[in-house]
Structure 1
């Protein structure tokens, strides 16, 4: 049953026995094993394409069914399944709003709160997939008066110091 990653092992665990074996392996591996699973899921979400949305939701449902209490691995993961679903929903909305033909090129994410003295956070030089993922990741946690922008770079000049 074991494939090359924890994420692929979740996907390919189809029979009840394979799922039970996988569930036991992750529980035996504890924090580290569940962390590997989550890293695989996040990687998949980062590069998820339009045609994969329903399939990815199904895999998240399967993960939640096999690991209904992720807080046993870490308290910070208590609501991880809801957080991952939010990322899928937000990224799906972004993909629906930006046609495939407009996605090539460099993108960036800006996060700012104009009413605070904190600096603007900028994540430049991203692909559309990476930018849409980061937007989806940061969007739910925005504080009062903060905003987030997903921007495509049309013109760019870069200089590097000596």
Structure 2
């Protein structure tokens, strides 16, 4: 049994290897497909600028090998579109913010000023974690919601006694 990690998946080079992998995942069912999704998600989360093209190819290959992920779980009906949107947003962030500007502390803030609800804030992140959270949540925004990815320039923090 293979572990279905992104690394193994990305190393499939022939149609025969892809077919064998596809059959193994199908025979394992939910668990096998979940490992593939977890591997792809972790690869997107960790992706640096140079990783984006190979991830785009991997998502295209995954969609080709498993065109109906709903057969594994109804919640995965739109998983390929969701992962593609997350990757596209992360690509946008990596393109918009140069490597020289990525040092320091970052945060992601989400809010909908039209409703009474808590502001969601993920503070104290390094750039790659913040970029992934932004990329993950951005495609899911509802009407009137906004999301911000911002670098912290100055911080004053105190702890209560």
TM-score by length of 1: 0.92
Tell me what 1:24 maps to.
Answer: 23
**Alignment root-mean-square deviation, CA:** 1.6
Instruction: Please say which of residues 93-102 and 45-54 is displaced more in the overlay.
Output: 45-54
Residues 32-64 of structure 1 show CA distances to partners (whole Å, capped at 9, x for unaligned) of: 111111111111111211122111101111111
Secondary structure of 2:158's aligned partner: coil
CA distance in structure 1 between the partners assigned to 2:102 and 2:29 by the alignment: 39
Q: Which structure 2 segments of 5+ residues have no match?
A: none
3-state secondary structure, aligned to 2:116: coil
1:56 aligned to 2:48?
no
Whole-Å separation in 2 of the counterparts to 1:127 and 1:9: 28
Q: Determine the structure 1 residue equivalent to 2:126.
A: 127
Quote the residue 2:153 is aligned against: 154
2:74 corresponding residue in structure 1: 75
Shift of 1:149: 0.4
Could you list the per-position Cα deviations for residues 58-82 of structure 1 after superposition, in whole angstroms to 9, with x for gaps in the alignment? Answer: 1111111111111111111111111
Mapped partners of 1:146, 1:89: distance in 2: 20
Superposition deviation, residue 119 in structure 1: 0.3
Per-residue CA distance 1:2-43 (angstroms, 9 max, x = gap):
4x6522221112222211121111112211111111111111
Secondary structure (helix, strand or coil) at the match of 1:125 reads strand
CA distance in 1, matches of 2:157, 2:25: 46
Structure 1 residue ranges without an equivalent (≥5): none
Q: Pick closer, same or farther for the CA change 1:5–1:66 going to 2, 3 Å.
A: closer
Aligned to 1:102: 101
* Alpha-carbon distance in structure 2 between the residues aligned to 1:130 and 1:141: 18
For 1:98-144, what per-residue CA distance to the aligned partner results, in whole angstroms no more than 9, with x for missing partners? 11000011111100011111100011121211111111111111111
CA–CA separation in structure 1 for the residues paired with 2:22 and 2:10: 12
